[in-house]
Structure 1
């Protein structure tokens, strides 16, 4: 019998974070190719319930064209779309704190030597779901490296940062975001990604002793009209593991 979702090993977790990050950003050619590589290796990377979830995504992925997914992305997530992919649009009870929240997220990235790819044509705000998921993938990779090199101090630093980022940011809105994905009419690709991210967040909350029910609640949205400021915008994150 294969492993259950609750038994996902960290190497699998890195790939799940990466897959979700790539799938939830605007589908350009580079992202599409990276997803193709991950799904082509799925049987070697995953097993059990995790493989079932990824296989569901793979079936959806193989059944659409990049053009169709681009159209869906703009319909579902573009400015004024059905779902906001930006964390701070859900802070309606404290809108005045948005600049501070953005700065806090960016501070997490800088603390781990993660830099902005200034040459990237697909810059996103730091609170975009895909950027936050990419950051968690990088932290998980750093945690694996610290364990492999028996660096307890570095491991503790990374684990502490992951727990805080999950508590203060990703978990706070991620569950609601996933429920929105899963309630879409159409958009099977995004529904399957919602299930993956929800499973990962559930697992991570259990690991860090966070009560999922505290975070798994309905949120309201302060939809942004116009152009988002490019302050604190970033392309793909890069940094040394």
Structure 2
């Protein structure tokens, strides 16, 4: 159980970290850390999947050294990629609505999922519910609940929470995030956002596998508990 709590806490932090990177430009503190430490400023990792993003971050480290005003430069990059109509537009509706209608059927379906899960997103955020950063943050909130249920050994609520995560991944986040990240990789001017997109893609692939295993294990446990009750 302790291992489950640790893993869920780490997943929550990762979702929150990625959500923040898609919702706002990198801070001066993060840029300074990357300039000083390179890839190690984000997190450790020595598997094959990490090699590509590490190369991009190390490339970005050199790009940073040539910037007169890194914060302003990256604010411009963020705006060009994620805010201007000519950019990526990291919204589920752009990738799953044939007419790419922001605020339409797809956006409302995501908002309804949040409502059904009794999850209120921050009113401080002005982004639509189907923004990639918002969907990642929603998963972070669910991971936070999962950790709580784990600590309380509330098995029923725990399985419901995990089922919600898998359902959201299957119906929303997992259906379009990789396409969006591929677009970021193709359009980003600096290595920073290419690395962020690569990390996000690798993490979500791992998450889909993890949630599938956990859901299967949860069902098996419930069958066993019913059999011995």
TM over 0.5: yes
Q: What is aligned with 2:22?
A: 24
Larger helix fraction of residues: 2
Question: What is the CA RMSD across the aligned residues, in angstroms?
Answer: 3.6
Q: Structure 2 CA distance, aligned partners of 1:91 and 1:123? A: 21
- Is the Cα–Cα contact under 8 Å of residues 182 and 194 in structure 1 kept in the other structure? yes
Q: What is aligned with 2:109?
A: 104
Q: What is aligned with 1:72?
A: 77
Q: Give TM-score, length-normalised by structure 2.
A: 0.70
Q: Structure 2 CA distance, aligned partners of 1:188 and 1:84? A: 19
Q: Counterparts in 2 of 1:139-218, with a 5 A limit?
A: 139-209=142-212
Note the C-alpha offset of 1:181: 1.7
- Is the Cα–Cα contact under 8 Å of residues 56 and 192 in structure 2 kept in the other structure? yes
CA 1:95–1:179: 2 relative to 1, 3 Å = closer
Among 77, 83, 87, the residue aligned to 2:88: 83
- Is the Cα–Cα contact under 8 Å of residues 93 and 101 in structure 2 kept in the other structure? no
Structure 2 residue 15 is matched with structure 1 residue 10:
no
Note the C-alpha offset of 1:133: 0.6
Note the C-alpha offset of 1:20: 1.2
CA 1:176–1:82: 2 relative to 1, 3 Å = same
CA 1:184–1:163: 2 relative to 1, 3 Å = same
Q: Structure 2 CA distance, aligned partners of 1:204 and 1:152? A: 20
Q: Counterparts in 2 of 1:113-128, with a 5 A limit?
A: 113-118=118-123, 120=124, 122-128=125-131
- Is the Cα–Cα contact under 8 Å of residues 28 and 71 in structure 2 kept in the other structure? no
CA 1:52–1:96: 2 relative to 1, 3 Å = closer
Note the C-alpha offset of 1:14: 1.9
- Does 1 or 2 have the higher relative contact order (CA < 8 Å, sep 6+)? 1
- Is the Cα–Cα contact under 8 Å of residues 102 and 126 in structure 1 kept in the other structure? yes
Q: Structure 2 CA distance, aligned partners of 1:181 and 1:32? A: 19
SS at match of 1:24: helix
- Which structure 2 segments of 5+ residues have no match? 1-5, 214-229
Count of matched residue positions in the alignment of Structure 1 and Structure 2: 197
